[in-house]
Amino acid sequence: MIATNDALDVLKIRSDFPILSRPVHGKPLVYLDNAATAQKPRAVLEAMESFYEHYNSNVHRAVHELSARATREYEAAREKVARFINASAGREIVFTRGTTESVNLVAQSWGRSRVKSGDEILITHMEHHSNIVPWQMLCEAVGATLKVAPILDSGELDMGVYEGLLTSRTKLVAVTHVSNVLGTVNPVKEIISLAHAAGAVAFVDGAQAAPHRKIDVRDLGADFYAFSGHKLFGPTGIGVLYGKASLLEEMPPWQGGGDMIEKVTFAKTTYNEIPAKFEAGTPHIAGAIGLGAAVDYVTSVGLDRIEAYERNLLSEAMNHLRTVPGLRVIGEAPGKAAVISFLLEGAHPQDLGTLLDRQGVAVRTGHHCAMPLMERYGVTATTRASFAFYNTQKEADAFVQAILKARDILKE
């Protein structure tokens, strides 16, 4: 467990993450690609290893001891997630492969049964492709219209225009909690309230929020909330869809198969209760158990302390970056999360990313699965650094120094 005083013991935290001690190209690893995927603490690795070594078995289907224990641990992980986001009950938590699958589940199940020709779905200009394409596909299939709320140059959602776009035809609002490119923290509680006032359902993409700030889905009023395990310092291939029980109960199954059924005959199949209705087949058992361990770990550190620490780290990094000649930060909304997308004059993002990697600094380059957002700012790609609570001020300094060195190399 992590000490509970206000200051994070970052060196202790770093010792819990084995990969952070490895070198890259003979340099200490400075891992600043956390928005893409975060590293895993030893507690997560050990929880998954323990499952495979000591009680590997399928869940829900057998009476033998291994299966009984696997089922207990799998369902215990569901309850941990429910408490983590303050869901009303574990049955409101559906395990998926990740945020992307969660969006598609809602689009195909809730959307196909609720959205009709002439209806509207409202998203924002800062969405990840995963919160654009499934809604486009739904609109194309049923004859609905996809509308987009614009953003300001600072990266903030234009709330006045957003509210004006809500009409009686709006059936769903889908919005990111935290932008994976800009770091913008959207006022989702207000966004949801306005959506509900217009009679719409609200879906929140929380992939970039859940690892870095406290989430309370009941306080937010979210109808659906989704996030991924691998960004929450847990395994890949596991994610969460929270849905209000009243909505999940009305929705048809998305996939058919084992465990999502109550009774099967050749004439008719009846379906299991939620959440089993949406978890056809053998689930990612080890992934769910690992996610439960990640939730335990992050909870022991404290989301409020994580958010405060990362905010300070971001502030220091931004202050240093502003001294770099020719560097332009994309998105500087007040209160943004610890994500920095930027351009360096005379340097293509891919070239810059390669030069940073040679110095041991891992960043992301490209369009970050947000091509419409890139177009909004008149660019095709950026370099992105994204911080986590195991990053240090020393690493932030090394990141800036690596940019300066890369800039000198590119000038030669």
pLDDT in tens, 130-189: 999 999 999 999 999 999 999 999 999 999 999 999 999 999 999 999 999 999 999 999
Phi/psi region, residue 116 (left: phi>0; alpha: psi -120 to 50; beta: rest), is: beta
Residue 2 has pLDDT above 60, yes or no: no
Is there a catalytic annotation at residue 139? no
Q: Is residue 37 part of a domain?
A: no
Please tell me whether residues 93 and 180 are part of one structural domain.
yes
Alpha-helix residue ranges (DSSP H) falling in 253-302: 285-301
Residue 5 has pLDDT above 60, yes or no: no
Alpha carbon distance, N-terminus to C-terminus of the chain: 49
Please tell me whether residues 74 and 149 are part of one structural domain.
yes
Please tell me whether residues 88 and 131 are part of one structural domain.
yes
In angstroms, rounded to a whole number, what is the distance separating the alpha carbons of residues 337 and 314?
8
pLDDT tens for each residue of 261-309: 999 999 999 999 999 999 999 999 999 999 999 999 999 999 999 999 9
Please tell me whether residues 387 and 264 are part of one structural domain.
no
- Which SS3 state, helix, strand or coil, does residue 156 take? coil
Please tell me whether residues 265 and 341 are part of one structural domain.
no
Q: Is residue 1 part of a domain?
A: no
Q: Is residue 109 part of a domain?
A: yes
Count of structural domains within the chain: 2
Q: Is residue 39 part of a domain?
A: no
389's tokens: 């609570």
Q: Is residue 105 part of a domain?
A: yes
In angstroms, rounded to a whole number, what is the distance separating the alpha carbons of residues 412 and 54?
57
Please tell me whether residues 318 and 257 are part of one structural domain.
no
Q: Is residue 4 part of a domain?
A: no
Give me the percent of the chain exceeding a pLDDT of 90. 97
Last residue of a domain, one of 242, 276, 299: 299
Could you identify the residue written with the tokens 């990094």? Answer: 317
Q: What is the DSSP string of 36-88?
A: T-----HHHHHHHHHHHHH----SSS--SHHHHHHHHHHHHHHHHHHHHTT-S
Please tell me whether residues 314 and 286 are part of one structural domain.
no
Please tell me whether residues 289 and 318 are part of one structural domain.
no
Could you identify the residue written with the tokens 């006022």? Answer: 187
> What is the per-residue pLDDT for 61?
81
Query: Residue type at 304?
Result: D
Please tell me whether residues 267 and 380 are part of one structural domain.
no
Q: Is residue 65 part of a domain?
A: yes
Please tell me whether residues 22 and 84 are part of one structural domain.
no
pLDDT tens for each residue of 186-226: 999 999 999 999 999 999 999 999 999 999 999 999 999 99
Q: Which residues contact 98 (CB under 8 A, 6 or more apart)?
A: 207, 228, 229, 230, 236, 237, 238, 239
For residue 381, what are the domain limits? 10-31+303-411
Q: Is residue 2 part of a domain?
A: no
Please tell me whether residues 250 and 145 are part of one structural domain.
yes
Last residue of a domain, one of 268, 283, 299: 299
In angstroms, rounded to a whole number, what is the distance separating the alpha carbons of residues 99 and 77?
17
List the CATH number of the domain containing 71: 3.40.640.10
> What is the per-residue pLDDT for 62?
85
In angstroms, rounded to a whole number, what is the distance separating the alpha carbons of residues 266 and 249?
24
Last residue of a domain, one of 299, 331, 360: 299
- Band of residue 411 on the pLDDT scale cut at 50, 70, 90: confident
> What is the per-residue pLDDT for 338?
98
Catalytic residue among 198, 369, 371, 379: 369
> What is the per-residue pLDDT for 308?
97
Neighbours of 323 (CB within 10 A): 9
> What is the per-residue pLDDT for 4?
40
> What is the per-residue pLDDT for 7?
81
- Band of residue 231 on the pLDDT scale cut at 50, 70, 90: very high
> What is the per-residue pLDDT for 192?
98
List the CATH number of the domain containing 338: 3.90.1150.10
Q: Are 176 and 224 in contact (CB under 8 A)?
A: no
In angstroms, rounded to a whole number, what is the distance separating the alpha carbons of residues 281 and 254?
12
Please tell me whether residues 227 and 344 are part of one structural domain.
no
Q: Are 59 and 276 in contact (CB under 8 A)?
A: no
Nearest to 314 by CA among 277, 334, 340: 340
> What is the per-residue pLDDT for 334?
96
